[in-house]
Chain A
Amino acid sequence: MKNIKIIIAFLLVTVVFQSCNDDFLDRKPLDAISDVNFWQNEEQLLLAVNATYAHLKGKNTVDMENMGDNTVWPTQTAYRQISSGHYNNDLGTLNTEWTEAYAGIRRCNHFLENYEKADMVNEELKNRYAAEVRFIRAYLYSYLTFLFGDVPHITTALNVGDEEIYGPRDSREEIANWILEELTQISEDLPESYSASDYGRITKGAALGWKSRVALFYGKYDIAEAAAKEVMDMGVYELYSDYYELFVSESDASQNAANKETMLSRVFTTDISMHNLSREIQVPDQSARWNPTKSLVDSYLCIDGKTIDDSPLYNESSYDSLFEHRDPRMKMTILSPGSKWGGREDGNPENTDKTIFTAPKFNQNRQGSVTPTGYYFSKYCDLDAVPTYNRDENDIIIMRFAEILLNYAEAKLEQGTLTQADLDLTINKLRERVGMHPMVISELATWGMDLREEVRRERRVELVLEGQRYYDILRWKRGDLLARDVKGIKKEFIIRQDDVKSIPTDEDGYIIFLTGNTFDESKHYLWPIPLAQRDLNPNLTQNPNW
């Protein structure tokens, strides 16, 4: 009996200890690759490069237009708060922008710290990978410095415990110089173009083009001019034939080789990556989210090249007449009566064809797109993508050749070297494409028009909805533009007057949609350092007067 007991007890113990082995507690990840085993070959490097592209701004590029004076969102949003000057350092968007930028920078730094470990035969390719990543890092630092001024300049992959996490802000000027230097260096390593299967990657043109934008922002006009010129001389880029079509998906450079204008875009692809811009522009049963302001509409010249105040062609007798005899880009940007649209029921009860827009709608009966200003956009609106949510596959353009031409013209202007020849090489190419009266320096003088104002106007109407307006206002120090009331059409143009009885108007009868906007010149040219970041890192100083 005793033997049985002992045998059984022995068996029990044996069974238990059978699974004992030394590596029992070593459990390696089942769905991740250890940093130690990564960075070994070309394929792994490519995957790490690809990951950094997630930080190119997509639709957010366009969303930032809301901070300017071209468009107004119908409800209170963070960007509208910034635009109207009613915001504080606790606004969530400020912190998001900061956080997202540094997330991308960390990803780039991580790559740049490790990529040289890889065993790669093709040194050129290795350098190209690094250049792509360095571009994205420079791109992210550009936005950070544009918005916040001085920011911590971090070029290593940080980890919890690193002292640099609690470091102070570095000078905007130094970071700007570093960005320009980085862009100069990498432009050597980047190809002028890629095969279709690699479309979307950073090219030499993108690096130089971005350099011209950054240089322009910081008033380094000589650098801006040189960089723009370098792009123009590459011979790779040319303007696309149709301004309107450039912003619909059929002409996306990722799909259409005829588009040689787009230099850098955030690519969107059916079912894989999509956004909601087109629907937001003409959402059929609610308020359109993108509403052109009177300020934008009025900035379009008449077809004769004169302002609406001066041109005899300007006729403000009806809603329809506003669109006549104007810079052709206006109808390609602002929805004009008679155009096809996706907004369904419009403001004209007589209109039975819901696919054609005839009059702006103010009645919120959820049967058609409502506008608080009386205007809608047509630029960037793919009508196919309007009926459903988040089904827009249109690429978002981050940079195109037209901007380079504008950068060049402006850089030369600011250096006092802008000639008619320069204008013909740049702005007049843009005007020529749409059939607009050219900009002639001598003519402007006769008409009493200011050249700088016109160059800036050209930039505004050409690049509207491309996310540049707010940055242009910042660098031109024209914050006063944001302090104005946001207005719309003349109230009398509205067909169903019942709907707008309570809408206030100015002395000339124009709808006032927003009033009370402010812009404090002493502080609003910079965003405040986000409260959350200063809570976490007391070494971060605040911007003036915030």
Chain B
Amino acid sequence: MESLLLKKVNPWLMKLFYSVFLSCLLATSLLAGSVTGQDLKSTVVKLNSKYANLEQVLQAVENQTDFLFTYNETIKPREVEVVVAAGENSLLKVLENISRNSNLSFKQVNSMIAIKEKQTPQKQVVKQFQQYTGTVYDGESDEVLPGATVQIKGSTTGTITDADGAFLIDAEAGQTLVVSFIGYEAQEIVLGENTTITIYLGGDTKALDEVVVVGFGEQKKVNVTGAVGMVTSTELENRPTTNTSNLLQGLVPGLVVQNYTAMPGQDNGSIRIRGVSSINNSNPLVIIDGIEGNMNILNPDDIESVSVLKDAASASVYGSRGANGVILITTKSGKRKGAPQVSINSYFGIQKPIQLPEMLGSVEYMQLQNEAMRNVGQSETYTEEDIQKVIDGTDPNFSANTNWIDEIFRDRAPQYQTNVSVSGGAENLSYLMSYGHLNQDGMVVGDAYSSKRDNLRFKLNTTILDVLDINANLGYIDRTYHSPQWATDRDGGVIRGALNISPLVPVRYTNGEWGYGGGANNPVAIATDGGSNVFSSQEFTANITAQINLHKNLSVKGQFGQVMSNSKRETFVKKVVHRHPESGDVLWFNVEENSLEVRDYVDRYQNILAQMDYKNTWGNHNFSGLVAFQQEWQRYESFSGTRKNFLSEDVPALDLGTNPVQSNSGDGYHWALRSGIARLNYDYKGKYLLELNGRYDGSSRLSEDNRYKFFPSLSAGWRFTDEVFFEGLKKVIYDGKARVSYGELGNQYLSNMTGYAEYYAYLPVLTDVGTMPIGNQRTNGFAQTVSAGKSLSWETVQMLNVGLDLYFFEGRLAFTGDWFNKQTKDILLRVPQPTVLGITPSDINAGAVENKGWEITLDWQDQIKEFRYGVNFQLSDVQNKVLDMGDTPPAYGTNVNLVGYASGSYYGFVANRLAQESDFDMIDGKLVPNIPVTSSELSKFGPGDLVYEDLNGDGEITAEGDRKVLGNAFPRYTYSFRGNVGWKGFDVSFFFQGVGKAVGYLYDNARHAFKTYSMYPQTTHRDRWTPENTDASYPRLIFGETYNSRVSSYWLEDASYLRLKNLQIGYTLPSHLLERLRVNKLRVYFSGDNLFTKTNFYYAYDPESPLSAGGYYPQAKTFIMGVNIGLK
């Protein structure tokens, strides 16, 4: 009889009870998916008499069932007469009947049934009530949504959907149904004639309840006062991109990814957050589930969310490690009390090079070579007879016509990936197991390049002793990368080799032996038979967290994490023998003896963290905060051994090398960090927000005197739309927040030095150095090669950030804008020193760099019935400027750090045109230039050469006086535009990404011909200057001379571009078709990366690899077909 007791309680208490109860209900229905809506229907009650008063009926029901009724004092059940059907009846029917014939309504809330008076108790209205039935679906997955609340707007009448997502409600036409579910946007439907309704709930576009992962915790997005970018798993799905760096390209404004190669396994782009703030290491800190990790070998399918901490306030809890921004990756987990869910994602596809250089054939090459020789007054290299031999094809061994680019590249290379995960949970337990396999073949012949990766992850969360939460997160990554033994970089390797070899050389001689180029290795032979460079690595991550809630407001957490990797690089250089096609004489072999080098690396990173979280509320004042202590340390060691002369090239085992000369080496480094961390959050009514952060860091890389530093930050936010005066404007601006933050970050990264001196830069050290063999023996020597920086201290970044978050149209349109000014001071810089110093200078704290910029995001998400669509536009800019270089003169090179200009700016001559005959006077039968030229080239300079501008006007071209900053390699105005459309089972999404302003520089083989014997002409060199073609794009051809190819504005390329980064078309089969197969999701899709590029960059290379001599493995377009399967 508790129910009768309840009615006597104070109505205020009732209300409180109600609201708490309701929210608990929502919580439980979310967690367990348990539904009681069906109970009313299935519960059968037996009533004896047709006529009764309501109290009798209620008592009967309470006696026969678990349901209890609640009502307030105005309702007197004894006085309400009702007519009921005698005998057994569903409780739902009984209550519906009573409601229909009275002014009362019933609302079931779990095992409670609330009785209320109808607000419009007119009889005729009652008559118009009819039963509406419907089903609620997840708009994205098309899965039914059990537990969704269906309520008539303006009344308390409502119900909850059952396990099939179905509901049944009595309402009158013209009323509005409000369907809501946590995590989804509520939808309103005006009821009409049709009594069967289908409702699709879309994601909560308001995103107001969205939770953002921040350093050492989580925050509601509305409370975030810093600049944090967030990427969710849906934005990363089904892309044929093998690493997370490249996946993040274009997804977060202010995060710039430059990806210059598609080399299997080694194709991760470089990431810069808000520009280049440090000279040495501008890589952001990557934290995976709380410990530092390598996101590029992580399985992208395992990622739940990525947070990018861009401003100092957000990153300052990472103190000395946060200067370049922080990327926080959270991996997926199982859900408690969830049924086991199996998910299978698999694709297969092909990669193709986006663009390749087009080389000229032998005949044109020979003609141009002769022209290049004539132009420098030297004899022609090839005779008419030589050229005729190529045309006639009479000498296929020495006068071939080979297109080496065609020969070294394949048309296409396969790539496939499969991911399987199983997740679920029980009362005190959740788990997730995932496995991913990636296989990427190379686009170069001879199986020279390939990559394989297997990722395993196991996550377990359990509560023991009722109070202690234990989280175990174990990861294992096994990867193998193959590449040719001839290492690939911008200056070498088989791809550069294909540019270095004459088209006259055949791939194979007529007798089947490899063709030989004379001074250039046959790249196809090396890629096929030259041996391999195999890198394999096994990485094990163990990350254990234990958390105890000491009090409802206080919890303590301990974490131990470690990443251990064991890697091996085996470089097996095989002997490729080239024999004369006729005599069989040995012409050349790439190495005297084959050799094997095995290098073993062991790396172990450990992290220990103790953290205490506290939160409390006093009235409208909400406080939360944390204190933490953290230690991190890493140790790396390597060992290598080499042997030569292997009798068999089949088994690469060191033991089989027979040359008695064997060598070995080993090295290593270690470092440690010790930190104290604190954060305080305060808000008043969720309207005025304030956050204070601080971290005190000590680093082993600095001397004892300079070891520790404190990095503070402060941020504040104002949700002005909550102000009373804003009420009227709420219709326009649904929600709005202004943010401001300021803080300090540190950087302890020194520039790379010989050995690992950067880890002990404050100590003068001697290391093993090579020297002359004394007494005909290998001789050891020890010497200091790097200067010690005894007074080195932290580099400090100070950043001001101002931001605005606005939501319009009830949250469907979101705007985020940020402006920042980031000042890096006391930069750790290897200031170029006059080389009388005699050793590599150590870094010093010198100079300052500024990065100023802004970022905007516009996002529109909407759903019109079954038609879902959304667009997202991002634009950001950052301007870098060197403010100070510590009073030291700059070191001028291709790139330069000059005060007042962007760091690493291109530096060189200005050249806009080619010299014409009018630029010369004929004196004594010789052409003498009447324009300024370089004195040492006075006698060489001729029509068709590049005209350098005499910037200082001294009548002469000199390196000192006539060079200037020409442009900045770092991209500006990076933007992206994404869109997605879904209708029923179909979905289409596209993703454009681009750069508005950037400069690239191509040099040597990438752009020029005939500077040396190993630089061959491309189709673009046809348009060279000749007396007949004076309006040429390329200077006259001059053999062996480099004066036209100096770094100058003429050779800088516009590296801006717009690229269709990804296009995806998918179809999800209706779930009812598959239910019997226990399949709850089946989606097939096509996805393509880098499908289309619009750019003015040089045709042969990619605008994303703006500094190249032509040796890079190219970028690829990838097309895949895939399937996503969910099983229950």
Cβ of A454 within 8 Å of any chain B Cβ, yes or no, is no
Given the known inter-chain contacts A107-B783, A267-B773, please indicate yes or no for A154 contacting B668, CB distance below 8 A: no
Contact of A354 with B585 in the complex, beta carbons under 8 Å: yes
Chain B residues in 8 Å Cβ range of A535: 889-892
Q: Which of A25, A107, A498 has the most CB of B within 10 A?
A: A25
Does B672 lie at the interface of the complex (its beta carbon under 8 Å from any beta carbon of A)?
yes
Q: Are A165 and B377 in contact (CB under 8 A)?
A: no
Binds A, one of B534-542, B563-571, B935-943, B1079-1087: B935-943
CB distance from B796 to the nearest CB of A (A): 19
User: Could you say which of A85-93, A123-131, A204-212, A474-482 contacts chain B?
Assistant: A85-93
Q: Check if A106 is an interface residue, CB within 8 A of chain B.
A: yes
> How many of chain A's residues have a CB under 8 angstroms from any CB in B?
122
**B952: shortest Cβ distance to chain A, in Å?**
15
Docked complex: B164-183 residues within 8 A CB-CB of A: none
Q: Is B934 interfacial (CB-CB < 8 Å)?
A: yes
Cross-chain contact B838 with A201 (CB below 8 angstroms): no
**CB neighbours of B516 from chain A (8 A):** 285, 366
A164 to B674, CA, bound (A): 38
- CB <8 Å contact, A13 and B556: yes
Give the distance to chain A from B929, nearest Cβ to Cβ, in Å.
14
A452 to B373 alpha-carbon distance, docked (Å): 41
For B670, list chain A residues within 8 Å (CB): 27, 30
Which B487-529 residues have C-beta < 8 A from chain A? Answer: 502, 504-505, 516-519
Query: Which residues of chain A come closer than 8 Å to B608, judged between CB atoms?
Result: 15-16, 19
A121: chain B residues at CB < 8 Å are none
Q: Is the CB of B674 within 8 A of A16?
A: no
Given contacts A53-B772, A53-B779, A518-B939, contact A107 B838 (CB under 8 A): yes
User: Which of B546, B776, B782 has a CB less than 8 Å from the CB of A47?
Assistant: B782
A450 adjacent to chain B (CB < 8 Å): no
A residues within 8 A CB of B700?
24-27
Would you list which residues of chain A between 189 and 219 have a CB under 8 Å from chain B? 195-201
Q: How far is the CA of A271 from the CA of B378 in the complex (A)?
A: 39
Verify if A103 is at the interface (C-beta below 8 Å from B).
yes
* Interface pair A29/B698, CB less than 8 Å apart: no
Q: How far is the CA of A90 from the CA of B892 in the complex (A)?
A: 10
Contact between B468 and A8 (Cβ–Cβ < 8 Å)? yes
Taking each of B661, B757, B772, which has the highest tally of chain A beta carbons within 10 Å of its own beta carbon? Answer: B772
When the two chains form the complex, which single residue of B502, B673, B771 contacts A50, counting CB atoms closer than 8 Å?
B771
- Whether, in the assembled complex, B669 has its beta carbon less than 8 Å from a beta carbon of chain A, the answer is yes
Please name all residues of chain A whose beta carbon is closer than 8 Å to the beta carbon of B765 when the two chains form the complex. Answer: 29, 32-35
With an 8 A cutoff between CB atoms, is A471 at the interface?
Answer: no
Is A391 an interface residue, CB under 8 A from the partner?
yes
Residues from 431 to 474 in B contacting A, C-beta threshold 8 Å = 465-468
CA distance A58 to B771 in the complex (A): 11
Query: Are A90 and B550 in contact, CB atoms less than 8 angstroms apart?
Result: no
Given the complex, which residues of A lie within 8 Å of B707, measured CB to CB?
25
Question: Please, how many angstroms separate the alpha-carbon atoms of A379 and B783 in the complex?
Answer: 36
Q: How many residues of B contact A (CB 8 A)?
A: 125
* Closest Cβ–Cβ distance, residue B672 to chain A (whole Å): 5
Is the Cβ of B398 less than 8 Å from the Cβ of A536?
no
B505 and A533 contacting across the interface, CB-CB below 8 Å: no
Task: Let me know if B764 and A35 touch, CB within 8 A.
Answer: yes
Q: Are A25 and B780 in contact (CB under 8 A)?
A: no
Contact (Cβ within 8 A) A12 B780? no
Contact string against A for B residues 1040-1053, beta-carbon threshold 8 Å, 1 for contact and 0 otherwise: 11100000000000
Partner of A31, one of B385, B666, B831: B666
**Assembled-state Cα–Cα distance A197/B778 (Å):** 11
Q: B637 contacts the other chain (Cβ, under 8 Å)?
A: yes
Asked if B1012 and A154 make an inter-chain contact with CB atoms under 8 angstroms apart, the answer reads no
Are B374 and A196 neighbours in the complex by a CB distance under 8 Å? no
Distance in Å: Cβ of A500 to nearest Cβ of chain B = 6
| Minimum Cβ distance to chain B for residue A168 (Å) | 11
* Distance of A503 Cα from B383 Cα, bound (Å): 12
In contact, A12 and B610 (Cβ under 8 angstroms)? yes
Q: Which residue from B380, B631, B666, B783 sits with its C-beta under 8 Å from A502?
A: B380
Partner of B833, one of A15, A367, A536: A536
What A residues does B787 contact at CB under 8 A?
159-160
Report which of A4, A166, A287, A387 forms a contact with B467, defined as CB distance below 8 A.
A4
**1/0 per position for B336-355, CB-CB distance to A under 8 A?**
00000000000000000000
**Per a CB cutoff under 8 Å, which of B610, B766, B837, B959 touches A38?**
B766
Given contacts A9-B548, A32-B765, A160-B842, contact A200 B836 (CB under 8 A): no
Binary flags per residue of A149-188, CB closer than 8 Å to B gives 1, else 0: 0001010011111101111000000000000000000000
B939 touching A30 by the CB < 8 A rule? no
Q: Judge if B587 is at the interface, Cβ distance under 8 Å.
A: yes
Q: Inside 8 A of B834's CB, which chain A residues have their CB?
A: 165-166, 533, 536-537, 540
- 0 or 1 for each of B814-837: is its CB under 8 Å from A? (1 = yes): 000000000000000001111111
Q: Mark B262-291, 1 if CB is under 8 A from A, else 0.
A: 000000000000000000000000000000
Q: Does B105 reach chain A (CB closer than 8 Å)?
A: no
A516 to B891, CA, bound (A): 33
Contact check, A516 vs B940: say whether CB atoms are below 8 A apart.
Answer: yes
Residues of B within 8 A of A86 (CB): 936-937, 939-940
Quick one: CB contact mask for B938-974 with A, threshold 8 Å, 1 for yes? 0110000000000000000011100000000000000
Q: Assess whether B592 is interfacial by the CB under 8 Å rule.
A: yes
The secondary-structure label for the interface of chain A is loop
Interface string of A49-61 (1 = CB under 8 A from B): 1111110101000
Closest to B772 in A: A53
Partner of A152, one of B379, B756, B836, B1013: B836
With A51-B769, A86-B940, A267-B776 in contact, do A20 and B631 touch (Cβ < 8 Å)?
A: yes
Indicate whether A498 sits within 8 Å of B385 (C-beta atoms), given known contacts A27-B760, A34-B764, A515-B377.
Answer: yes
Chain B's closest residue to A106 (CB) is: B838
Cβ of B667 under 8 Å from chain A: yes
B736 within 8 A of partner (CB): no
Whether A102 contacts B784 in the complex (CB less than 8 A), given A13-B610, A31-B755, A160-B844, comes out as no
Q: A98 to chain B: closest CB distance in Å?
A: 6
Asked if A44 is an interface residue, CB under 8 A from chain B, the answer is: yes
What mask results when residues 41 to 76 of chain B are scored 1 for a CB within 8 Å of chain A, else 0? Answer: 000000000000000000000000000000000000
Q: Tell me the residues in window 705-740 of chain B with beta carbons closer than 8 Å to chain A beta carbons.
A: 707
B836 touches A365 (CB 8 A): no
- Residues of A68-113 whose CB lies within 8 A of B: 75-76, 81, 85-90, 95, 98-99, 102-107, 109-110
Contacts A31-B668, A76-B1041, A160-B833 known; A504 to B377 CB distance under 8 Å? Answer: yes
User: Chain A residue with minimal CB distance to B560?
Assistant: A15
Contacts of A339 on B, CB cut-off 8 Å? none
Closest 10 interchain pairs by CB? A106-B838, A51-B781, A366-B518, A285-B518, A12-B558, A503-B379, A16-B610, A32-B765, A35-B764, A51-B783
Interface residues of B, Cβ cutoff 8 Å to A? 370, 373-374, 377-383, 385-386, 398-399, 465-468, 502, 504-505, 516-519, 546, 548-550, 556-558, 560, 585-589, 591-592, 608-610, 629, 631, 633, 635, 637, 644, 659, 661, 666-674, 698-700, 704, 707, 755-757, 759-760, 763-767, 769-784, 787-789, 831-839, 841-842, 844, 888-892, 934-937, 939-940, 958-960, 1012-1013, 1040-1042
25 A-B pairs with CB atoms under 8 Å apart are A15-B560, A30-B668, A33-B766, A34-B766, A35-B784, A52-B771, A88-B936, A103-B838, A105-B838, A106-B839, A109-B838, A110-B784, A160-B842, A197-B777, A199-B774, A271-B661, A283-B519, A285-B516, A286-B519, A363-B383, A501-B379, A515-B377, A531-B892, A537-B834, A540-B834
